[in-house]
Structure 1
Amino acid sequence: MTVSDPSLALQKAIRSRLIASPELLALVQADHVMDANGRPEIMPAVYIGEGQSIFRRFDATSHATLHVWFQEPGLVQCKEAVSAIVAALRIDAQADGVLPIDGFVVYDMQATQTRYLRDPNGSFSHGIVSVAAIVKAN
């Protein structure tokens, strides 16, 4: 099978890096880091959501959106989890070397934006992490 879109391989790599983060696992169970839709039934949770790939001639930038959910009255735990996610996903090929993933190599990956949303009823916190990775096909 020829792999032409890096978004699925990147999603798998993101999950692997997140469940290897002791800082994140202190806040969210590994089996609560998943690809799913909607507000989670189990809390806390990290959903690896939407993806997009922008192709160039020799490489691509693949984007992923992560949704972080906690049942809490404020945003403290959510912001702590997002900070752990940002740290876990940083890859700089010049400093750390490249990250091989299924059919591709990641040369650079980082969170490009974080956002925090309050539940109108005050029961949930929702963090959104946008991630971008520069990848090249093997």
Structure 2
Amino acid sequence: MTTSDPSLILQEAIRARLIASEELLALVPPDNIRDATGRPEIMPAVYVGEGSTNFGRWNATSQQTLHVWFQEPGLEKCKQAVSAIVAALRMDAQVDGVLHLDGWDCHDLTVTLTRFMRDPHGSFSHGVISAAGIMKVA
């Protein structure tokens, strides 16, 4: 029996996939891809950490919310970073195989929603990504 919530395990797997993405690292330094809250002091940044899990009888669906921040007058860099994140998180167990994690296996990982906003109090762009993984105890 595992003791970790699958949303934490999925969060760790997501961060690992993001810091392995050359496309994303061309836009955001790896130290700025982390679990944190609020608007970042140092930009650009990707914040990972908000999560939830819906438990089923044999599996669980874990959701993660990622926040992408840039200091820019528009949304161009933010949208480029979100596109890189979507590509990094694309995973299909039938094609790529199951993602074996610490006590859990991820059978599907997909981005379910992206949103882009301008910060009304400054020259910041903010992207929000919702992702979900189908998790089973290993």
User: What is the match of residue 39 of structure 1?
Assistant: 39
User: What is the match of residue 108 of structure 2?
Assistant: 108
Name the aligned partner's letter for residue 113 of structure 1.
L
1:49 touches 1:67 (CA, 8 Å); kept in 2?
Answer: no
CA-to-partner distance for each residue in 1:93-115, whole Å, 9 max, x for gaps? 00110101111000000100000
Name the aligned partner's letter for residue 128 of structure 1.
V
User: What is the match of residue 128 of structure 1?
Assistant: 128
How many residue pairs match? The answer is 138
Task: Could you tell me which runs of 5 or more consecutive residues in structure 1 were left unpaired when the two chains were aligned.
Answer: none
**1:8 shift after superposition:** 0.7
CA distance in 2, matches of 1:116, 1:3: 35
CA-to-partner distance for each residue in 1:6-57, whole Å, 9 max, x for gaps? 0111110000000000000000000000000100000000000310000000
CA distance in 2, matches of 1:84, 1:46: 12
**1:137 shift after superposition:** 0.5
CA distance in 2, matches of 1:114, 1:108: 18
2:2 touches 2:137 (CA, 8 Å); kept in 1?
Answer: no
Give the 3-state SS of the residue equivalent to 1:41 in structure 2: coil
User: What is the match of residue 71 of structure 1?
Assistant: 71
CA distance in 2, matches of 1:104, 1:58: 12
**1:120 shift after superposition:** 1.1
User: What is the match of residue 95 of structure 2?
Assistant: 95
Greater than 4 Å deviation, 4+ residue runs: none
2:51 touches 2:63 (CA, 8 Å); kept in 1?
Answer: yes
User: TM-score with structure 2 length normalisation?
Assistant: 0.97
Q: Residues 15-54 of structure 1: matches in 2 within 5 Å?
A: 15-54=15-54
Give the 3-state SS of the residue equivalent to 1:10 in structure 2: helix
CA distance in 1, matches of 2:56, 2:120: 41
User: TM-score with structure 1 length normalisation?
Assistant: 0.97
Identity of matched residues, %: 67
Give the 3-state SS of the residue equivalent to 1:7 in structure 2: helix
CA distance in 2, matches of 1:53, 1:113: 17
Task: Could you tell me which runs of 5 or more consecutive residues in structure 2 were left unpaired when the two chains were aligned.
Answer: none
CA distance in 2, matches of 1:103, 1:42: 34
